[in-house]
Structure 1
């Protein structure tokens, strides 16, 4: 009896330990439910492109700086071209004005020379006419003198010196030649003076044109250097655009890969949610079974207490044989139950009925233990999956924002 009472006490202790374990499992499942609830009420914020934006920002700044520099150089080139065009037009205008002024001056000189030549020709004609008149008068005078001399008988020869006409003509010729020579010298001096003045003006205009040519040449060289620099910047811009296109392509591939990974993770999240839902349903069913078993265990304890009270201090024997059980292998139930009482044997039918109840209770306890072990293994697997999912979410850049609804996959 003492051995059997110790076995019953051990059985009760094991039942109490098992109930504590069940309560611990309840607390664990409750914590898991809270985690699941928090996870369901959390918002998954995916596709965080902050890192890519930080990497792309320097390239954008370089492109904008290159565009601004290109615009500045294009503006400089345009201004240089406009300045060169203005200098060219100004140079052509000055050359045209100089040539037109020279032409006008030469025309005026030609007209003046023509007028002087006309006046000189008129003077020469007048002198020629005067010489002819003087020659005619001299011939007439000679003929008159000859007639007078031939008509007289007595001729008084007077030795008067006759004028030398040849000398007179030579003197007149020399005088007019001196006049013509002096006029010619004056005209030549005036012409040379005018030519020197025009040559000085032409030299000055030539100097201005040479300086303008030098300035135009410098502007042309500056234009060529700016054009070369612009071509270099265009090549650099093309290289930067190609680099940007390559970076964009690479980032697009990365984004597609991350999008595929997000799709995979969302699929896994859906499967985990479905698994959690099914596990929750199983857990609720097991909780219902647990409540029923707790009621049966309470009834079992009441039966045990009733058996001890019904014994009434008499000697009794309880045998345990085989059966399924819990803990370290101690079984409850078995194939037969023996109860001996020295005072009365009328309780045998009652004990046989309780034997069947104990057998059923033992079977239910064994089944419940199997389900609880399965639930523990499933909960452990679920916790591992949740842990792995949180680790993968942290590595892939997903952020859980508490208090927001979960984003649908």
Structure 2
């Protein structure tokens, strides 16, 4: 039952990990859609700026760092999340194997302990059966001796009664 409880616990943890993974995948999909939308807006803004720049002759220098490639950033984030998921999966697998191993050793220990107790109880039962057999033999012997004594007593009582009758009969003559 303990093993089944642990298995049920592990299944719940696995279900939680699966739910977390699906949530992360949905977030990644949302971010991808946002990226597509941002690229589209950026492209439209760039077209508008180019058309404004072609009509005006203002020369502007921008001192800003170059814009990062969002698809590269998204790929890095995805890679990090996948690494975290893989690490969690390995940790859960290791934990599960250790837990299974511990439960198996506890089971073996319990079986060994109960086997020893069973052997000890069997020795007690064997001793009691031997003792019971001896008691029965003693009772049978005592019953036999009692019957012999009872027979002797009965014969003696008959003899005594016969002697009394004889004695009483001699007194009468």
Instruction: Tell me whether the two structures share a fold, i.e. TM-score over 0.5.
Output: yes
3-state SS in 2 of match to 1:236: helix
CA shift, 1:234, in A, is: 4.7
Which one of 38, 47, 51 corresponds to residue 137 of structure 1? Answer: 38
Answer with 121-130 or 131-140: which moved more. Answer: 121-130
Aligned match of 1:213: 114
Which of the numbers 216, 234, 240 marks the counterpart of 2:141? Answer: 240
Displacement of 1:247 in angstroms is 0.5
- Two-structure CA RMSD over aligned residues (Å): 3.9
Aligned with residue 89 of structure 2, among 188, 200, 219: 188
**Counterpart of 2:99 in 1: which secondary structure?**
helix
Asked if 1:199 corresponds to 2:100, the answer is yes
| Aligned residue among 241, 250, 274 for 2:151 | 250
Mark the CA change 1:127 to 1:181 in structure 2 (over 3 Å): closer, same or farther: closer
Deviation per CA, 1:332-368: give whole Å up to 9, x if none: xxxxxxxxxxxxxxxxxxxxxxxxxxxxxxxxxxxxx
Structure 1: runs of 5+ lacking an equivalent: 1-95, 157-161, 275-409
> What is the total number of aligned residue pairs between the two structures?
165
Aligned pair partner of 2:129 in 228, 234, 256: 228
Q: Distance in 2 between matches of 1:119 and 1:188?
A: 12
Alignment CA distance shift 1:221-1:231 (3 Å): same
Give the 3 Å change call, closer, same or farther, for CA 257–135 of structure 1 in structure 2: same
**In terms of Rg, which structure is larger?**
1
CA–CA distance in 2 between the matches of 1:141 and 1:192? 45
More helix, by proportion: 2
- Once residues 107 and 53 of structure 2 are traced to their aligned partners in structure 1, the CA distance between those partners, rounded to angstroms, is 84
- The alignment's TM-score, normalised by the length of structure 1, stands at 0.33
Once residues 195 and 137 of structure 1 are traced to their aligned partners in structure 2, the CA distance between those partners, rounded to angstroms, is 44
Once the two structures are superposed, what CA deviation does each residue of 1:233-277 show, in whole Å capped at 9, x if it has no partner? 254135314413431342133223322332134225524xx6xxx
